Amino acid sequence: MTKQPKEHRIVVKFGGSSLSDNERLLKAVNSVVNETKKGTKIAVVVSAMGKTTDVLLTTAKNTSNGKLTKHDLDDILSMGERTSARIFAAALRNNGANAHYFDPTDNQWPIITDDAHQNANPNPKECQKNIQKYIQPLVEEGTIPVIPGFVGKTKECQITTLGRGGSDTTAFILAKGLGADQIVLVTDAEGIMSSDPKIIQTPTLLSTIEVNTLVGLADSGAKFIHSKALKYKPQNIDVKVISNQYGDLSRQGTLITGSLTTELNAEIADPTPVAEITVIGNGLSANPQVITEVIEKVKENTTLLGMSMNTNSIILYVQQTQNITKLFDQIHQITINNKETIAMAIKKDLVFIKTSGIGLEETHGIIGKISEDLRVNGINISGILTITSSILLFVDWNEQEKALKLIKTALKTH
């Protein structure tokens, strides 16, 4: 007996700008209807229309004399997405498609969370169970489920909201539960750009980006996809970001690949000892040529692992290779040959420890906790750098095992 090929299955999320008026909403609906005519099975996640959430939030706060509970506010804010779902499902039916909207008051509601109102965390196991029980049968029979994004419900049936990136989170969880082939995020941009088009006039569209690279942009304030949502992206399901302008779900945009490490962890990031080179001077940052010379010499001799700089100094962390002395001499020559540089210092035999994990930037006080635990145990930090969802530490090479154990303990107990 010949096995039937699996039908193409996608989860589509429409952002608020894609639903901001009747024309855009109808374009979104038609894009779904047209895709289903190709035989694609679709589940839809919708945000609140336009600026609805902002209006609800402002109105609620300005009329409650500051006495609004987080539970009440979640109930109010959920109305934007819940209304979008009703309108979208009705429009799908009126355009010839079978559709069914879900509401958090339903027993079949798929997104179950903890009770952290305003910033709730989904319970993956409960979500998976409900998605497979209530959503998957509809998708398989050709009905389009329409789920309000951003909204959750506790086991005690209290409505919650998922915080920043909440609708993307809903789409990612839904896709994993359905075993979707792809997640399509429909936005007001062509895809993910090389920079914010509101700041840079001619950014370039990125055809693909790995999720660990994207989270760096998210953490730095770029409004692409929030890092909290990205931690729910399934490993084996690509995300496509496309523009709502064309009303075509098959259109090319930006593909997001891979997945994030969600657990906070620490590891020895480089197997070789590390040297710290410090060059000090006056107004060093005002002469990029000196900085360029130093970095070029590093590239000729070894691998640059990290760098920090201020007005009067530059610190480089490099692999301590066999010819490292040659590099020291070359950088010293640059130091004495330029008026902006005064002297250099060298520290050898350090170890490079990297602490990483999605949500690290939201774990308040973690750097202080790690630093204090190392200090109390007599371990000096030679250097510390923070880059997106990671902390880079440099300590004495002979203390690596002790330091690593202390850092891992700090991450678990913080």
Domain CATH code at residue 326: 3.30.2130.10
Tell whether 355 is covered by a domain.
yes
Q: Which pLDDT value is given to residue 86?
A: 98
Residues 229 and 316 grouped into a single domain: no
Q: Are 367 and 224 within one domain?
A: no
144 part of a folded domain: yes
Answer positive or negative: Cα dihedral of 394, 397, 399, 402: positive
pTM: 0.79
Residue 55 and residue 161 in one domain = yes
First-to-final CA distance of the chain:
56
Q: Are residues 185 and 51 in the same domain?
A: yes
Same domain for 337 and 209, yes or no, is: no
Tell me if 352 is assigned to some domain.
yes
* In a domain? residue 23: yes
Q: Look at residue 367 in the predicted model and tell me its pLDDT.
A: 82
Q: Return the ∠ at Cα 19 (arms to 14 and 25), rounded to 5°.
A: 100
* pLDDT number for residue 262: 60
Domain count, the chain: 2
pLDDT at 2: 44
Domain boundary residue among 236, 257, 278?
Answer: 257
- Is residue 4 in a domain? no
Does 316 map to a domain? Answer: yes
Q: Are residues 306 and 357 in the same domain?
A: yes
Crossing angle for the helix pair 52-62 and 70-94, to the nearest 10 degrees? 150
What φ, ψ does residue 286 adopt, rounded to 5°?
Answer: -80, -10
Helix (H, G, I), strand (E, B) or coil at 410: helix
- 184 and 10 Cβ atoms separated by less than 8 Å: yes
Quote the tokens at residue 213: 């690279």
Handedness of CA 57, 63, 68, 74 (dihedral sign): negative
Torsion sign across C-alpha atoms 300, 302, 305, 311: negative
pLDDT one digit per residue (tens) for the chain, 414 residues: 444 456 899 999 999 999 999 999 999 999 999 999 999 999 999 999 999 999 999 999 889 887 889 999 999 999 999 999 999 999 999 999 999 999 999 999 999 999 999 999 999 999 999 999 999 999 999 999 999 999 999 999 999 999 989 999 999 999 999 999 999 999 988 898 888 777 788 889 999 999 878 876 765 545 578 878 888 999 899 999 999 999 999 999 999 998 876 667 788 989 999 999 999 998 887 888 899 999 999 999 999 999 988 889 999 999 999 889 999 999 999 999 998 899 999 999 999 998 877 666 566 677 888 889 999 999 999 988 876 667 889 999 999 999 999 988 888 775
Strands 274-281 and 159-161, by their bridges, are unpaired
* Owning domain of residue 94: 9-257
